[in-house]
Amino acid sequence: MDSMFSHFRKRSTPLITAIVMVVMSLGLNTTAMAASRYGEELDRLFTQLAAAENLEKAEQTITRIWQLWTTDTTDSTNIRLMRRGIGYMESGQLREAEAIFSQIINRDNEFSEAWNKRATVRFMLNDMNGSVQDIAQTLKREPRHFGALSGLGMIHTLDGNFKSAIAIYEQILTIHPLNPEAARVIPELKLKLRGDPA
């Protein structure tokens, strides 16, 4: 998911818990990635990200990773639709954005970022079941997707499943060791897990 959320509302269901368990098994299996037109460059960028000496260098690498993810399709129409969908998201037209990302998925269901963007929109629409299912599809295609993992960590946190949230944020740190969100949230969640005030 995109790191763009400031307001969340807790909404837990048994279905979410079940789906999240499946997502965790998919997300942690980094050998199960689908083919990407940018496979070699992404591999190089993730190696750089893991070895980044400071946050500034890490952010430069992350910017390039996002650029590749949002254009990781051979269909130029889908790239145009992706830009349109992002525009709808940024202007708060969430239903329109959801429809665009669904259209992209119907055209090319291996386009991992279309799944991730729809997961983000559905989260913003408080459709937690739909969001988690789309996160699962994202991670099936790109297990290193730190944005999708971050979204899953948020959902675990909202669900009160702090142990699983910690595991997800720790996984993010194996991909992006300087990730400020994970570094900040993990100690807070460990306090919550012990029953201490955050």
- What integer pLDDT is reported at residue 85 of this predicted model? 98
pLDDT in tens, 67-115: 999 999 889 999 999 999 999 999 999 999 999 999 999 999 999 999 9
Amino acid at 163: K
Planar angle of CA 90, 156, 197, nearest 5 degrees: 105
20, 160 in Cβ contact below 8 A? Answer: no
The token pair that represents 88 in the structure block: 């709808």
- Structural domain boundaries of the chain? 14-193
Q: What is the pTM of this model?
A: 0.83
Write the CB contacts of 111 (distance below 8 Å, at least 6 apart in sequence). Answer: 72, 73, 78, 104, 105
Fold of 14-193: 1.25.40
192, 166 in Cβ contact below 8 A? Answer: no
- What integer pLDDT is reported at residue 11 of this predicted model? 45
119, 131 in Cβ contact below 8 A? Answer: yes
Amino acid at 115: W
Q: How many CB atoms lie within 10 A of CB 3?
A: 13
Amino acid at 187: P
CA 47 to chain centre: 19
Write the CB contacts of 123 (distance below 8 Å, at least 6 apart in sequence). Answer: 1, 5, 131, 151, 154, 155
Share of the chain above pLDDT 70, in %: 81
Amino acid at 117: K
